[in-house]
Amino acid sequence: MAEDGKEIFFGMDEEPAKDEPLTAGAEDAAKADAEAAEGPAKEETPAGPEDTAEEKKEEEAEPAADTSELEAELEEQKNRYMYLYAEYDNYRKRTAKEKENLYSDAVAKVTGEFLGVLDNIDRAIDSSKNADEGSIEAVIQGIEMVGKQAGEILAKIGVEEIPCERGTKFDPNLHEAVMHIEDEELGEQEVAQVFQKGYMYKERVIRHAVVQVAN
């Protein structure tokens, strides 16, 4: 208790504590903590309009480059196709022309061979007109020689006479039967008589032999 009779309460007369300003070191530490806390938020900041426009331009530029390459490849394939088509068309025309010439050459060659036969036939006809009983045999021999000459020309080009004589076994692939008779001298389905000779080229029948078949 005080001397003047008043009670003194400790701490009542003292001023309340005031916040003291932070020291320089404390301020730097607080600032560093604040920047560290704001760091991730700044990295996640969305791109601005300018960045978005540039990205769109890059995306549009890439497809354009791909399309250009495809167009160039398509043009190359088209040119190659046109070249091959032109080559094939020329080959087709050339082949058709060669076939036509080959056929014409074959006809000309065979015709040239047979002109000699025609000449001999004309001579045989002239000889037969003036023939008498003594020369008729010579005319017949001349005609036979003409027939032999024609057979030799056919043999040169691969055409052969179909073997067919009396007693030959009938073959429907080579012979054409126009008559049928009974003949004790012949066996079953044998040629009795030849009315017209047949000819074949290699394995192809040009004309069947016309025959009479027995039994």
Map out the domains of the chain as residue ranges.
Answer: 59-157, 161-215
* CB half-sphere exposure, 115, CA atoms < 13 A: 6
The CB-based long-range contact list for 12-20 (8 Å cut-off, 24+ gap) reads none
Residue 1 — very low, low, confident or very high, per pLDDT cuts 50/70/90?
Answer: very low
Phi, psi dihedral angles at 10 (to 5 degrees): -70, 135
pLDDT for 138: 85
Q: Which CATH class is domain 59-157?
A: alpha beta
Looking at residues 171-187, what average pLDDT do you find? 93
| CA 58 to mean position of chain CA atoms | 44
Whether the predicted pLDDT of 114 surpasses 50: yes
Q: Does domain 161-215 have CATH number 2.30.22.10?
A: yes
Under 8 Å between Cβ of 172 and 198:
no
More confident residue, 143 or 57: 143
pLDDT in tens, 17-57: 454 454 555 566 666 666 655 555 445 555 555 556 666 66
pLDDT for 42: 47
Looking at residues 9-19, what average pLDDT do you find? 48
DSSP string, the chain: --TTS----TTTSSPPP-PPPPPHHHHHHHHHHHHHHHHHHHHTPPP-HHHHHHHHHHHHHHHHHHHHHHHHHHHHHHHHHHHHHHHHHHHHHHHHHHHHHHHHHHHHHHHHHHHHHHHHHHHHHHHHHT--TTTHHHHHHHHHHHHHHHHHHHHHTTEEEPP--TTPBP-TTTEEEEEEE--TTS-TTEEEEEEE--EEETTEEEEPEEEEEE-
pLDDT for 67: 86
Residue 132 — very low, low, confident or very high, per pLDDT cuts 50/70/90?
Answer: confident
59-157 and 161-215: identical CATH topology = no
pLDDT for 146: 92
* CB half-sphere exposure, 74, CA atoms < 13 A: 6
Mean pLDDT of the chain: 79
pLDDT in tens, 189-200: 999 999 999 999
pLDDT for 12: 47
Residue 139 — very low, low, confident or very high, per pLDDT cuts 50/70/90?
Answer: confident
pLDDT for 22: 47
Q: Is 194 exposed, middle or buried (0-12, 13-18, 19+ CB in 10 A)?
A: middle
Whether the predicted pLDDT of 211 surpasses 90: yes
More confident residue, 70 or 55: 70
State which amino acid sits at residue 6: K
